[in-house]
Structure 1
Amino acid sequence: MTEATPQGRVRRFCAIVLPALEAAGYTGYGSQQRLVADTGMNKSTVSRLLNGEQIPHVKFFPALAKAAGLDPVELLVAAEILPPEYLESQQTLSENNQSRVGSGSITPEEAAEGLGIHDDVGKFTFLAVVEKLKSPQPDEDDAANPGGTAAQM
């Protein structure tokens, strides 16, 4: 059974984020300042995160996920903003035959609207995933480990 206290929620979030940050090189001297620079969080928020005391505001999740090498949706689930079933129920466009390759380009916001994503959390999640997908592809070393950081834990 999971701990239903706010501290338990923070503990579960940090159990995912802190090892990922460590694996991404945010350890040792200067790592706190690098994380401040890479995520836009202030120093006290980064300090409380690294000490396992606080979950940062959701607006920092895309940058935090990028720094930690995690999927932003994983952070939303870890912070209990989205239910765990959300990750399990996701399908790719090719799995449900809704791909419209060659139909012209649209903005991510237009895509969210076209997919019927109208709530703020849903839009944030969708746009964060789009940004993650637009980022540079993983190094060859990452290709040898297709499970990703979260799968190694």
Structure 2
Amino acid sequence: MRSEETVRQRFGRLIANAARATGRYDLDGHGGKAALARAAGLSESTMGRVLRGEAMPDPRFFEPLAKAVDVNAIDLLIAAEILSPESLSAPAQSRATGVGSRSITLDEAADALGIQTAVGRELFTAAVERLQRTERTERATADDDGGAAAHA
């Protein structure tokens, strides 16, 4: 992954690679993009912009799009760095009360979820890490606001 790659570009690249890997979508030939757009419930123009890394689909299309290219939606969102692995790693109950099982590694989580392929593990790890970064940023922002939003 290149550091200058935007989330939109990364998402588009991941979708394009996964679509090609299915063998059902010839994205360089005639009709492949249209077929993928239909399978995901998107317009052809939106699908083109997504594949070029110019746009992100509305979140309600993440799951249908992931299904159309035979990848797990969570794995896709983690690999695209839309979600971070940290936000998926510990249940809210355990964080709030301190009660629960020990923390597990990403490899243990992938094993428990049945994620066995190298691509699946890479997507899973990237998504979890992105979720963790987002959570840290949002907590820092809330702390900086002094809880003003809660008092409004």
TM-score normalised according to structure 1 size: 0.51
Q: CA deviation at 1:149?
A: 4.7
Instruction: Please tell me whether residue 19 in structure 1 is matched to residue 27 in structure 2.
Output: no
Structure of greater Rg: 2
Q: What letter corresponds to residue 26 of structure 1 in structure 2?
A: Y
Q: Aligned pairs, how many?
A: 99
Instruction: Please tell me whether residue 68 in structure 1 is matched to residue 69 in structure 2.
Output: yes
Paired with 2:65 and 2:21, the residues of 1 have a C-alpha distance of 13
Q: CA deviation at 1:2?
A: 7.2
Aligned pairs for 1:3-152 (under 5 A) are: 3=3, 8-24=6-22, 25-27=24-26, 28-86=29-87, 89=89, 146-147=116-117, 149-151=119-121
Unpaired segments of 5 or more residues in structure 1? 98-145
Aligned counterpart, 2:144: none
Contact preservation (8 Å) 2:11, 2:80: yes
Q: CA deviation at 1:70?
A: 0.9
SS class of match (1:62): helix
Paired with 1:151 and 1:83, the residues of 2 have a C-alpha distance of 13
Question: Closer, same or farther in 2 for the Cα pair 1:29/1:148, shift >3 Å?
Answer: farther
TM-score normalised according to structure 2 size: 0.51
The structure richer in helix per residue is 2
Q: What letter corresponds to residue 11 of structure 1 in structure 2?
A: Q
Unpaired segments of 5 or more residues in structure 2? 92-99, 102-115, 124-152
Identity %: 35
- Cα deviations across residues 112-153 of structure 1 (Å, max 9, x unaligned)? xxxxxxxxxxxxxxxxxxxxxxxxxxxxxxxxxx51753589
SS class of match (1:11): helix
Runs of 4+ in 1 over 4 A off after TM superposition: none
